[in-house]
Amino acid sequence: MNLVFVLLLFAQSPDSSQQKPPAEHALGEELITGEAEMKISDQKLFFPPQLDPWAPLNDLLAPGSYIFDDGLLQAIDSLTIPQHFIKSSFLRVPVERTLVQGDILVFLPKFEKRVASWELEIANSLGERVRRVQGKGIPPAVIIWDGRNDAGEPIATGDVYSFTFSAYDAHGNQTRISCEPQKINAVVWQEKNEWIVSIAADMLFIPNGAEFTSDANARLDEVANLIKERFRKETVVYVYSEKEQLSADRCRVLETEIRRRVVFPSDGLKVVPRFIPGTQPKHSRIEIHII
């Protein structure tokens, strides 16, 4: 009887209430719940950056001074540098061009009747002849004026020039065509080993003053681009004015603005006043010689 009782105990299935729940973390992970307050007492170093990320790189490396490296300047390849994103005094800036380089005006004469001879006359605002171009037979399809007078000298900027084209047939009958007068404000030309920029004073300064006009910054940027492109040894700026004090005042502000845009070596920039008594205000100009 006792033997049967023991077998029944071993054959009895375990109680379902004592079964272990299936493991939720089968990979041996342990779930910990609850919150605990901790205080970090270790002191950490804190150092705010003492620089402006938008400042020119040259200013960060050498604040207040520049090292002129002619080799570096010549090695810069403008085709591989994103000029729209790099700010540096060595690089040119995007600007709309207004300085006239090379040909000043191009004429395209066309006549239906036969022409025996022709003549193009260019005069200044006083009616004085500046340049005459003439020939026989049919005029060429394109006539180019390079901005020089009959003596081969560059014209004065700031003046208004008129153009008259005359054609004659075999009997001497004349046909005259008057072109719209043009004011020449800024011209760039090359003389031997130097580049010369002539700008009418009213493009940069207010009348009878040394304050810049609203459009002067764009013109100064354009001049700075040309200096960066053509500079080899030095740049000399001549300020022509009808008043001596006005010329000196304009020299000071011009030098400040040019140095702010271009990096020069020592003695690389000179600004010189040019006072000529009797100079008409319209003939006041700034000449920049890039050597």
Identify the band that residue 38 occupies on the pLDDT scale cut at 50, 70 and 90: confident
Residue 11 has pLDDT above 60, yes or no: no
What would the two tokens of residue 31 be?
């779930």
Within a domain: residue 238? no
- Both tokens of residue 236? 């000399």
In a domain, 287, yes or no: no
Sign of CA dihedral 161, 162, 165, 166: negative
pLDDT at 291 over 80: yes
Q: Give the tens place of pLDDT for each residue, 204-220.
A: 999 889 999 988 998 99
Q: Write the DSSP string, 119-130.
A: EEEEE-TTS-EE
Give the whole-angstrom CA distance, residue 227 versus residue 91: 11
Residue 95 has pLDDT above 60, yes or no: yes
pLDDT in tens, 166-190: 888 888 888 888 888 888 888 888 8
Is 21 within the bounds of a domain? no
The answer as to whether 73 is a domain residue is no
Give the contacts of 186 (CB within 8 A, at least 6 positions apart). 98, 99, 100, 157, 197, 198, 199, 200, 203, 219
- Give the global pTM: 0.63
Domain housing 149? 100-183
Does residue 78 sit within a domain? no
Q: Domain containing 110 — which CATH number?
A: 2.60.40.4070
The domain tally of the chain equals 1
pLDDT at 28 over 90: no
145, part of any domain:
yes
DSSP characters over 138-183 = SPPS-EEE-SB-TTSPBPPTT-EEEEEEEEE-TT--EEEEEEEEEE
Query: pLDDT confidence of 152, banded at 50, 70, 90?
Result: confident
CA pair distance 184, 199, nearest whole angstrom: 9
Task: State the pLDDT at residue 5.
Answer: 43
Q: Does residue 59 register a pLDDT over 80? A: no
In a domain, 32, yes or no: no
Q: How many other C-beta atoms lie within 10 A of the C-beta of residue 241?
A: 26
**What percent of the chain is predicted at pLDDT more than 70?**
71
Residue 228 within any structural domain of the chain: no
